[in-house]
Amino acid sequence: MHAVGNKLLADKPGSKVLYIHAEQFVSDVVKAYQRKTFDEFKDKYHSLDLLLIDDVQFFANKDRTQEEFFNAFEALLAKKSHIVMTSDTYPKGLADIHERLVSRFDSGLTVAIEPPELEMRVAILINKARAEGTEMPEEVAFFVAKNVRSNVRELEGALRKILGVQPLQPEGNLDPAGPRGAARPAVDPEPADQRGEHPEDGGRLLQDQGRRHVQQEAPGLDRAAAPDRDVLAKELTQKSLPEIGELFGGRDHTTVLHAVRKISAERQQLTELNQQLHVLEQTLKG
């Protein structure tokens, strides 16, 4: 979001750009009601060229905030300004948000931001280490990236731990005894059978993580036959269809094949289904 604001300022230096978290907007609304300073509030939010606002799901159940945001939204659109928002779900998935706001959110361009893949995580680590004046060996970056998968903040935390122990290593070397030497304390990797790698001895991790992800993040995918697990098993392992069927309750290989074909076809038609399965794939593959 900062990159969007910086680009506009680079192209049009005189632009009025504001980045805030949704909680700050809520706080500003409360202050405006308490102090009767609505003119100041409108001057701040209705005159912008670009409003960048994070985590709009925090507006849930806050009627006055939603009313004021609706007014600001309409005022900015009327003057052809731009609004960029983030949330933890698609617009239609926002709970306790007024329908007129949801419809306006949904009328814009919706982009799903996926977790960074392995190669991107490696590049982030190397670049951030370089910014700190340190050259991180590529094998160390790969080791850390394979074990830290959730978000960039955790990558930064692992990097800080590694840089913290660097002075204690011989000649300040980040990698005195292979990538698992200096880097291991920073990531504290779990045993292989508990990490996101697909084990070849039973498929329990794929089954458990797949079901947990589906139930928490995409309950609409929680079908009785769980065909999404079959697709992931086929994509992430070298196992045959009969072996996959055996892993998931002794099902016939033709049932697995039907599930793979069915979900593969649906992924091409349903953007949200494809997104959810892609995120799960990246989580399991690292």
Q: Is the same domain home to 167 and 203? A: no
Q: Is the same domain home to 81 and 145? A: no
Residue 229: which of 198, 200, 201 has the closest Cα? 198
Q: Round to whole Å and give the CA distance between 30 and 44.
A: 15
Q: Which domain holds residue 133?
A: 118-189
**Amino acid 221: pLDDT:** 44
**Amino acid 282: pLDDT:** 63
Q: Is the same domain home to 16 and 46? A: yes
Specify the CATH number for the domain of residue 97.
3.40.50.300
Q: Is the same domain home to 217 and 281? A: yes
Q: Is the same domain home to 42 and 95? A: yes
**Amino acid 7: pLDDT:** 96
Q: What is the DSSP string of the chain?
A: -HHHHHHHHHH-TT--EEEEEHHHHHHHHHHHHHHT-HHHHHHHHTT-SEEEEE-GGGGTT-HHHHHHHHHHHHHHHHTT-EEEE--SS-GGG-SS--HHHHHHHHHS-----PPP-HHHHHHHHHHHHHHTT----HHHHHHHHHH--S-HHHHHHHHHHHHHHGGGSGGG-S-BTBHHHHSHHHH-PPPGGGSSS--TT--HHHHHHHHHHHHHH-GGG--SS-HHHHHHHHHH----HHHHHHHTTS--HHHHHHHHHHHHHHHHH-HHHHHHHHHHHHHHH-
Q: Round to whole Å and give the CA distance between 211 and 6.
A: 41
Q: Round to whole Å and give the CA distance between 38 and 19.
A: 20
Query: What would the two tokens of residue 59 be?
Result: 């507006």
Place of tokens 């009327």: 78
Of 165, 189, 213, which residue constitutes the final position of a domain?
189
Of 72, 107, 142, which residue constitutes the final position of a domain?
107
Residue 212: which of 228, 201, 200, 199 has the closest Cα? 228
State the helix-helix crossing angle for 118-131 and 152-165, rounded to 10 degrees. 50
Q: Is the same domain home to 211 and 178? A: no
Residue 113 placed within a domain:
no
Q: Is the same domain home to 159 and 250? A: no
Residue 230 placed within a domain:
yes
Residue 65 placed within a domain:
yes
Specify the CATH number for the domain of residue 166.
1.10.8
pLDDT tens for the 286 residues of the chain, in order: 999 999 999 999 999 999 999 999 999 999 999 999 999 999 999 999 999 999 999 999 999 999 999 999 999 999 999 999 999 888 888 989 999 999 999 999 998 887 788 888 899 999 999 998 888 888 888 888 888 876 788 888 888 888 776 555 544 455 544 444 555 555 654 444 444 444 343 344 445 544 454 444 444 444 433 555 555 555 555 556 666 666 666 666 677 677 777 777 777 777 777 777 676 666 655 5
Q: Is the same domain home to 52 and 144? A: no
Residue 156 placed within a domain:
yes
Q: Is the same domain home to 201 and 239? A: yes
**Amino acid 39: pLDDT:** 94
Q: Is the same domain home to 57 and 90? A: yes
**Amino acid 238: pLDDT:** 52
Q: Is the same domain home to 21 and 82? A: yes
Domain count, the chain: 3
Residue 18 placed within a domain:
yes
Place of tokens 């949801």: 102
Residue 112 placed within a domain:
no
**Amino acid 196: pLDDT:** 41
Residue 260: which of 229, 285, 281, 219 has the closest Cα? 229
CA dihedral 193, 196, 201, 205 (to 10 degrees): 90
Specify the CATH number for the domain of residue 222.
1.10.1750.10
Q: Round to whole Å and give the CA distance between 267 and 218.
A: 14
Place of tokens 């994509």: 235
Of 107, 137, 168, which residue constitutes the final position of a domain?
107
Q: Is the same domain home to 103 and 8? A: yes
Residue 69 placed within a domain:
yes
Q: Round to whole Å and give the CA distance between 225 and 254.
A: 13
